[in-house]
Amino acid sequence: MTWRATQELILVVSGVPSAQQYLHLDCEDRRPSAVADVQAWAASADDTSNEEACTTGVAAVETNPSTTIATAAVGPAQSDPTAMVVSSGTGVVVGRQYLITEDNTGANEFFEVVSVNGTTIKAKHPLKNDYSVGSTVQTTRWSIAVDTTWIADVSNLSPTFSPNPTYRLRWSATVNGNSTVYQTGFDVVRYPVNHGVTGLHVEAAHRGWLDRLPPDHQIDQGRALIEAAYQSVKFELYGDGKADQAVRNPELLARLVVMRCPLEALYDNLNRGANVTAAVDVAEKRWRQIYDQTFRAPIAAIDETGGGGASTNEPLPLWVRL
């Protein structure tokens, strides 16, 4: 997704991970024509404070994809308004969102890639505007490399007791001919959040869930609904003052996501006008019971310091050998 979720950088321990890490922003306006600067501070520090030396080099807009519509127009006037053939498929990634722009009229929209085969791209949803041959298809992501010394310093770890990002970034660029500023946040963690849930996991817990999915969700086995379920779990944790990256019981986190998926599907049907209010009420009560029993009760293991270990504050049994 292109919304500005808090990015997680992984603390480098003994050279692991070894791959270069990047901070990035997906610009929701247009592709930046020029990138001026990226500045970083601790979230609690104001703009006049010393900046964090967490980046290296200069920020740049991704080179690819930056291509054009080739051979035939695309859009609602075509037999398949989700299909397009581009001049080059280099850099196109399934699941990413890109911007298509009709240069003659200025019409534009973001689309999510559901498949790519050479230069043939399929969008998850039908395009709403018509685009002629030569219209641009571009990424709007710009990135900057993370300093390898800074990311290996354990003192830069984010405390996991807070759901708020530890660091904030100020991105400055020229977009649509205007000087524009954007803000994102990031954390440094030992363990990234990974709920590990697939459509088959949800199907195992809720028989027939895959078959009941709307057609546009069946093609990826409900991956978007699973992600929506995880986002709901994450913000529920935020509301209780807990960070999702602090959870040290992946089984519980996955179970919450699995139990949330039918509710997200029902919400989807409700938005389409289906009469599923009673089913929503049942699913919400079931979900709430499981959440309260695990994360509002002292059961789930939570890392409260960022050091990696966790505690549950579980009460001692009535009889215990000390």
pLDDT (tens place) for every residue of the chain, 322 residues total = 446 789 999 999 999 999 999 999 999 999 999 899 999 999 999 999 999 999 999 999 999 999 999 999 999 999 999 999 999 999 999 999 999 999 889 999 999 999 999 999 999 999 999 999 999 999 999 999 999 999 999 999 998 778 899 999 999 999 989 999 999 999 999 988 889 999 999 999 999 999 988 777 888 899 989 999 999 999 999 888 888 888 888 899 999 999 999 998 888 878 777 788 898 899 899 989 989 988 887 777 777 777 777 776 554 444 444 4
Q: Say how many C-beta atoms besides its own lie within 10 A of residue 319's C-beta.
A: 5
Identity of the amino acid at 309: G
Nearest CA to 242 among 321, 300, 308? 300
CA dist 173 and 182 (Å) reads 9
For the chain, the residue count is 322
Nearest CA to 225 among 270, 264, 254, 266? 264
Strand partners, 10: 189
Over residues 63-103, the pLDDT tens digits come to: 999 999 999 999 999 999 999 999 999 999 999 999 999 98
Model pLDDT, residue 233: 93
Contact predicate 251/212, CB 8 Å: no
CA dist 230 and 224 (Å) reads 10
Element (H, E) at 260: helix 250-271
Q: Say how many C-beta atoms besides its own lie within 10 A of residue 287's C-beta.
A: 21
DSSP string, 95-160: T-EEEEE-TTT--EEEEEEEEEETTEEEESS--SS-B-TT-EEE--EEEEEEPTTGGG-GGGPPPT
Q: In what order do the strands lie in the sheet with 22-26?
A: 22-26, 141-146, 55-61
Q: Say how many C-beta atoms besides its own lie within 10 A of residue 158's C-beta.
A: 24
Strand partners, 16: 13
Backbone angles phi, psi at 175, to 5 degrees: -130, 130
Model pLDDT, residue 322: 46
Euclidean distance between the first and final Cα of the chain, in Å? 50
Nearest CA to 164 among 303, 295, 42, 54? 42
Model pLDDT, residue 103: 86
Nearest CA to 25 among 240, 171, 177? 171
